[in-house]
A and B are shown apart, each in its own frame.
Chain A
Amino acid sequence: MQHPDRFDPLDPATQPVVPIPGYPNTQRRNPARAPFRRVLTRTELTGPLDLSQKLRPGDDNLAMLAPGRAAQGQLIHVGGRVLDEDGRPVAGAIVELWQANAGGRYFHPIDQRDAPLDPNFIGNGRTRSDAQGRYGFFTIKPGAYPVPDSGRWWRPPHIHISVLGPGSLMRLVTQMYFPGDPLNGLDRILNSVPDLAARARCIAASVLPTEIAGDWLGYTHDLVLRGRHATPPL
């Protein structure tokens, strides 16, 4: 695989602006000082080429914990491509996904909200993009939930996605939202991205049932990592 060799700075308008009003951890945990500039050299431009021995993939069905143990909720498939900025597929990227259950509760000791846990839903998985950069997960549509002590902030249904591409700068942690949800426009995290087009790209697209086989609703969501090629594609 050809590796990107050019990493332009991220356009700040397309990335979250911190601190976010009404989200105190964005104040406590982000530096007051602007980051120092440095020349990007091999230590920053390299990174693990293949993490599949360390972060083992093979867990891409969150909706079926074991045969006969289907999770509650709307069965969905979320998939798309991992691409670089030139639109080239990023093969072999590790894609991690985690989410709340259909009732909007995470299987996590920190989440003590009074919403039901689903004994058949853990809500996390890991896969690896194929040679065309494709990834995909079977899961259920997560529920919305209120953020404690936040003054009526509800997180819209969303899926957390972590991508580890072949280089430290090809790292991405993002959240995917569902089209048409009225909570999207009120979400403090989604709204922290100033550029409206960048915000809209965090929302997945529905796939018409006539376009897919199987008893799942489909969503597509491409993930664009940093990195360009000094030599343009042929």
Chain B
Amino acid sequence: MSRPNAPLVPTAWATIGPFFPNTFFREGDNDLTRMAPDAPPTAQGAPMWLTGRVLQEGGGPCVNAVLEAWQADAAGRFRHPRDPDWQQADPGFHGWGRAWTDAEGRFAFRTIIPGAYRDATGPRAPHINLAIIGSGIMGRLATTIFLPAFAEANAADPVLASLPEALRPLLVAQPDGLAEDGAPRFSLDLLLRGDAATETPFFED
């Protein structure tokens, strides 16, 4: 039951249910480029949008799902002591954002194209970590999104490459025109449950 030498066991997760307060969301929460809603966006990196839909079994929209995004800055650094270069991380870039899905299951994040970096597992391609919580979801559904412009880096990324080859395209967002602010938009759908060829790959936390 409990693990050796662990005095405390992490609290059991539960779903957010259908009533996660929409008043928790404020304008700018889905913008990773700002330290605060009223702060200017970072000057480093190329702006982009990550958009898409969260879909449930059968392909219908997953309404009121909450997505949390986390990524490196334009130089591939995380402002957290677990990154050896964290003190050089972009001080104007937050890297975290939260969005929720509308009646069509749509979400959108404004961010910058994340930087590549190397860690002990190998060369990491630019990527955005996403976690989905929602009504009926009893934990975090965690996945990682890649970008199509970095085909060579994607092929060498140890996490993406660990997936069966046929599933890798499901985690690569596709170009989807320009957003209103002129920044390129990359889009993909996240299918929470489906057949083996179309269900989004999720990772153990």
Q: Which of A33, A48, A54 contacts B199 (CB 8 A)?
A: A33
A29 contact from B71, B97, B137, Cβ within 8 A? B137
Contact B18 A110 (CB under 8 A): yes
Q: How many A-B residue pairs have CB under 8 A?
A: 249
Q: Which of A1-46 contact B (CB under 8 A)?
A: 3, 5, 7-11, 13-16, 18, 20, 23-33, 35-39, 41-46
Bound-state Cα–Cα, A65 to B83, Å: 42
A183 in the interface, Cβ–Cβ < 8 Å? no
* Contact in complex: B129, A87 (CB < 8 Å): no
* A124 x B21 contact (CB < 8 A): yes
B interface residues, tally (CB under 8 Å): 82
In the complex, the chain B residue whose C-beta lies closest to that of A3 is: B81
Q: How far is the CA of A87 from the CA of B36 in the complex (A)?
A: 31
**Chain A interface (Cβ within 8 Å of chain B)?**
3, 5, 7-11, 13-16, 18, 20, 23-33, 35-39, 41-49, 51, 53-55, 83-87, 96, 98, 100, 106-111, 122-124, 126, 160, 162, 166-169, 171-175, 189, 192-193, 195, 197-199, 201-202, 223-226, 228
Residues of B within 8 A of A (CB): 1-3, 6-24, 28-29, 35-37, 39, 56-58, 62, 64-65, 68, 70-72, 78-83, 94-98, 119-121, 124, 127, 129, 131, 133-142, 144, 158-159, 162-163, 192-194, 196, 199-205
Contacts A35-B202, A37-B204, A53-B36: A166 and B80 contacting too (C-beta < 8 A)? yes
The answer to whether B131 touches A48 (Cβ under 8 A) is no
Known A-B contacts A16-B139, A168-B129, A224-B9; A38 and B192 likewise in contact (beta carbons under 8 Å): no
